[in-house]
């Protein structure tokens, strides 16, 4: 086995970086070309809503993603391509740094490119460039932490703990589940020779930096009685009850990786665990995997750990192939890349909105529920506006729009001003904390509630319209919330009604 950090094939670092940037740029151009095809996803609408009410925390997540969305909103307005640009750029960095991880581990240009391509054609990573989601940036921080860790272990320069701490702090400001990766980092330190870093000030400096970056959100959580913890408990119970964690193990191969790259990832894990210097990285994968598995987490939660395995696998496989003839090496590499690309083409058809109409669009919408959730929001807003316009003058004087979920709330708040709709009343997540207007509306257009729900909670409810989409796509809105009502005020006083109807979703 070759010493760590020594390339099998002499390559110029700047040339290696140029190849990686080229691969990532092609992916970015594909996203830019397709990201404007449909509409906003319901999760994006929640981020947009929270971006207009910036705070140091939100019920569903920390503040960094809405902050980035606010910046994108100020730069690009309501442009799908523009608002999703930061997600695309995050994936560019992920792809490049995956290749750079392989280079730090001694891989030549071809192995670096294979590692990068293995991430490009991963379903989860590809999805992260199609929408503005916190998973896009959570994925980025995991990859950067892994890269900084490899640099730390290779150079034995403890100052890298500051970079690890900074990325960890940003990760904590993005998605709370990164605490499982932090457990992997700490476990990797304690279980390997890296434990000697505990005696250095740089290790504790990195921890202090992470906590300092995270501090504003900690204070927000304290001020709000750790409401996000209650939210996460609710979401976890829902996911377990609905069986969303049942496919955890199969999701590792089918969502977190390109299935053709599974042997490469396993090679990476073996590579790390057999190498005394880099064994910490192996534990950084195994510990989160086991914690998520036994805690019944969803399969994609550990997805951001795979780029470091693919980087290690590319380096390890290159070392093994070095003992074979050139023809054999080229044949094996060609077969692998061909399989990876073929599977990647299928993933692209499944994940990307390649067509506005036609068989590829139908295929994607049939198999991809997230794309289906991008359909129909503009029509919902137009329907609500038409119902509002049909009301008699007496009801128009003080009308509000009460919504049942954060997608509907975001649609009315973000898309509604063009139709002169009032700000929505939502009791879901952070919108509940913002309360209701004073005086409260006397007439309510109600979206996202069933007939029995409105009759139990509100007065004088009449069916006024239907929620759906012109394309006939079956999604959550068209199937679960098909009816729109016009109602009077709640049966209970507004303060009690609001207090008793807090929602998590």
Cis peptide bond N-terminal to 52, omega within 30:
no
User: Do residues 101 and 308 make contact, with C-beta atoms less than 8 angstroms apart?
Assistant: yes
| Angle formed by the axes of helices 326-351 and 306-321, nearest 10° | 160
CA distance 242 to 219: 33
Number of CB atoms found within 10 A of residue 270's CB: 15
Phi, psi of 176 (to 5 degrees): -65, -20
**Per-residue pLDDT, 11:** 58
Predicted confidence (pLDDT) per residue in 162-197, tens digit:
999 999 999 999 999 999 999 999 999 999 999 999
Other CB atoms within 10 A of residue 353 CB: 20
Distances (CA, A) of 9 to 13, 321, 436, 463: 12, 12, 65, 71
Under the banding of pLDDT at 50, 70 and 90, the label for residue 1 is very low
Say how far apart CA 314 and CA 8 lie, in whole Å.
12
Please write the tens of the pLDDT for every residue from 111-169: 999 999 999 999 999 999 999 999 999 999 999 999 999 999 999 999 999 999 999 99
SS3 content of the chain, % helix, strand, coil (to 5): 65, 5, 30
Residue 126: name the closest of 392, 371, 441 by CA: 371
Looking at residue 390, its pLDDT comes to 96
Mean pLDDT of 279-300: 98
The candidate with the shortest Cα–Cα distance to 412, out of 437, 379, 440, is: 379
Q: CA-CA distance, 347 to 215, in Å (whole number)?
A: 39
Token output for 128: 């992260």
Nearest 5 degrees, angle CA 263-CA 269-CA 274? 125
Report field, pTM of the whole predicted structure over 0.75:
yes
What ranges in 352-492 are assigned the alpha helix state H?
Answer: 359-367, 369-372, 377-390, 393-396, 406-410, 430-434, 451-457, 476-480
H or E, element range at 487: strand 483-487
Instruction: Encode pLDDT of 216-269 as tens digits.
Output: 999 999 999 999 999 999 999 999 999 999 999 999 999 999 999 999 999 999
pLDDT in tens, 76-124: 999 999 999 999 999 999 999 999 999 999 999 999 999 999 999 999 9
Average pLDDT of the residues in 41-68: 98
Q: Is the pLDDT of residue 8 over 90?
A: no
CA 401/CA 264 separation, integer angstroms: 52
The terminus-to-terminus CA distance of the chain in angstroms comes to: 51
**Residues 102, 104, 107, 109, Cα dihedral to 10°:** 80
Mean pLDDT of the region 312-322: 96
The rounded distance, in Å, linking the Cα atoms of 174 and 350 is 27
pLDDT tens-digit readout, 338-351: 999 999 999 999 99
Phi–psi pair at 271, nearest 5 degrees = -55, -45
Q: How far is CA 496 from CA 435, 436, 457, 492, 500, in A?
A: 12, 12, 11, 6, 6
Report the C-alpha gap between 463 and 387 in whole angstroms.
Answer: 10
**What tokens were used for 102?**
């392989």
Answer positive or negative: Cα dihedral of 41, 412, 462, 455: positive
Beta bridge partners of 401: 424, 445
Q: How far is CA 369 from CA 42, 139, 388, in A?
A: 11, 21, 30
Mean pLDDT of the 353-365 span: 93
pLDDT at 324 over 60: yes
DSSP assignment, residue 465?
E
* φ, ψ of residue 216 in degrees (nearest 5): -55, -40
What's the pLDDT band for 394 if we cut at 50, 70, 90?
confident
Q: Domain segments of the chain: what residues?
A: 18-351, 377-500
Q: Is the pLDDT of residue 10 over 90?
A: no
**Pair 181, 169: CB distance under 8 Å:** no
What is the length of the chain? 505
Per the CB < 8 A criterion, the answer to whether 377 and 46 are in contact is: no
């Amino acid at each position: 086995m070759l010493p760590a950090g020594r390339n099998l094939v002499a390559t110029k670092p700047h040339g290696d970086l140029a190849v990686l940037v080229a691969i990532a740029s092609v992916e970015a151009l594909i996203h830019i070309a397709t990201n404007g095809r449909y509409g906003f996803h319901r999760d994006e609408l929640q981020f947009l809503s929270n971006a207009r009410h910036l705070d140091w925390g939100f019920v569903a997540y920390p503040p960094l993603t809405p902050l980035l969305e606010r910046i994108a909103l100020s730069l690009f307005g309501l442009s799908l391509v523009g608002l999703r640009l930061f997600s695309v750029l995050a994936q560019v960095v992920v792809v490049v740094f995956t290749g750079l991880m392989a280079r730090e581990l001694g891989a030549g240009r071809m192995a670096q490119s294979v590692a990068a391509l293995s991430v490009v054609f991963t379903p989860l990573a590809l999805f992260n460039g199609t929408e503005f989601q916190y998973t896009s940036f959570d994925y980025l921080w995991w990859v950067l932490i892994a890269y900084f860790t490899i640099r730390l272990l290779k150079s034995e320069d403890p100052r890298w703990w500051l970079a690890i701490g900074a990325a960890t702090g940003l990760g904590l400001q993005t998605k709370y589940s990164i605490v499982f990766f932090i457990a992997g980092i700490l476990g990797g330190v304690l279980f390997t020779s890296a434990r000697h870093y505990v005696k250095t000030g740089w290790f504790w400096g990195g921890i202090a930096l992470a906590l300092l970056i995270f501090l504003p959100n900690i204070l927000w959580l304290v001020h709000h009685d750790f409401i996000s913890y209650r939210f996460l408990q609710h979401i976890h119970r829902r996911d377990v009850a609905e069986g969303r964690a049942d496919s955890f193990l199969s999701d590792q191969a089918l969502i977190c990786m390109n299935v053709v790259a599974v042997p490469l990832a396993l090679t990476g894990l073996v590579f790390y665990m057999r190498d005394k210097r880099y064994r910490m990285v192996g534990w950084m994968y195994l510990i989160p995997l086991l914690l998520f598995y036994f805690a019944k987490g969803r399969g994609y939660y550990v997805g951001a750990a795979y780029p470091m395995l693919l980087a290690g696998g590319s380096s390890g496989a290159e070392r093994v192939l070095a003992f074979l003839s050139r023809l054999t090496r080229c044949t094996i590499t060609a077969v692998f890349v061909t399989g990876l690309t073929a599977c990647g083409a299928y993933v692209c058809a499944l994940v990307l909105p390649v067509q506005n109409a036609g068989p590829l669009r139908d295929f994607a919408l049939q198999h991809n529920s997230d794309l289906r959730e991008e359909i129909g929001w503009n029509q919902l807003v137009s329907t609500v506006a038409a119902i509002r316009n049909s009301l008699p003058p007496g009801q128009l004087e003080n009308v509000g729009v009460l919504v049942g979920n954060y997608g509907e709330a975001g649609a009315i708040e973000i898309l509604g001003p063009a139709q002169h709709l009032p700000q929505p009343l939502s009791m879901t997540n952070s919108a509940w904390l913002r309360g209701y207007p004073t005086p409260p509306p006397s007439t309510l257009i109600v979206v996202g509630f069933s007939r029995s729900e409105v009759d139990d909670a509100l007065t004088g409810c009449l069916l006024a319209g239907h929620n759906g989409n012109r394309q006939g796509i079956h999604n959550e809105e068209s199937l679960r919330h098909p009816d729109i009502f016009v109602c009077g005020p709640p049966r209970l006083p507004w303060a009690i009604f609001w207090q008793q109807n807090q929602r998590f979703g």
